[in-house]
Amino acid sequence: MKAMILAAGRGERMRPLTDNTPKPLLQVNGKSLIEYHLQNLKQAGFTDVVINHAWLGHMIESSLGDGSQYGLQIQYSAEGEKALETGGGLFRALPLLGDAPFLAINGDIWTDYPLQNLPTEPDGLAHLVLIDNPPQHPEGDFALDGERVRPSGENCYTFSGIGVYRPEILAGQQDGAFPLAPILRSAMQRNEISGEHYTGQWFDIGTPERLEQLDLMLRVG
């Protein structure tokens, strides 16, 4: 199974840190956020990785190269000056991802989720990892009903930014910017999305303060 790291976001809330550095290259405990993903992917047995980029994307390519320094093969999906959002980013990268299910993970999170536990053949169009709602997102995103994900319900959790997708989930879409969430919600209504609840460590690096908190946690150990 191939993996894709979503790294095209501008990181407006992280400014001024992201004025001259793409968000995935921001460092915690002496290592960039995206390097943690690459090392976790290698440890989980992945070999082929696709990374999309937009803002200052050339810096990501210069830093990571072809992936050989991480024991991986990296290909890049360039989106130009303006990012294509999650749905559009995945669609643009489909020629690099192939016809099989693939993992996609947000580049601006840090987690100890064991990626090797993800299903290589999701029961439906996608499998999502959900986490307890963080303080900055108390209402959550989706509900979990057993192993099926619903658009709403009693047990609402936050989408972690980790999912396995079949390329067919983007059938009928066209190249351009569009969100993924409405496509997921439509598939949930058809009972085509499975999921799990993860209770381990997870950080959304959405502000400079949360970046500092993660840095401190990792340095303290």
pLDDT in tens, the chain (221 residues): 999 999 998 777 878 878 889 999 999 999 999 999 999 999 999 999 999 999 899 999 999 999 999 999 999 999 988 899 999 999 999 999 999 999 999 999 999 999 999 999 999 999 999 999 998 899 999 999 999 999 999 889 999 999 999 999 999 999 999 999 999 999 999 999 999 999 999 999 989 999 999 999 999 97
How far apart are the C-alpha atoms of 184 and 194, rounded to whole Å?
A: 11
């290259």: which residue's tokens?
A: 25
Residue 165's DSSP bridge partners are: 102, 126
The token pair that represents 122 in the structure block = 């999701």
For position 58, which CATH number holds? Answer: 3.90.550.10
Q: Is the full-model pTM beyond 0.85?
A: yes
CA distance 118 to 103: 8
Nearest alpha carbon to residue 115 among 217, 5, 30, 194: 5
Structure tokens at 97: 């991802």
Which parts of 13-133 fold into alpha helices (H)?
Answer: 33-43, 57-64, 85-97
Residue 187's domain comprises: 3-220
Cα torsion 137, 142, 148, 150 to 10°: value is: 170
Number of domains into which the chain is organized: 1
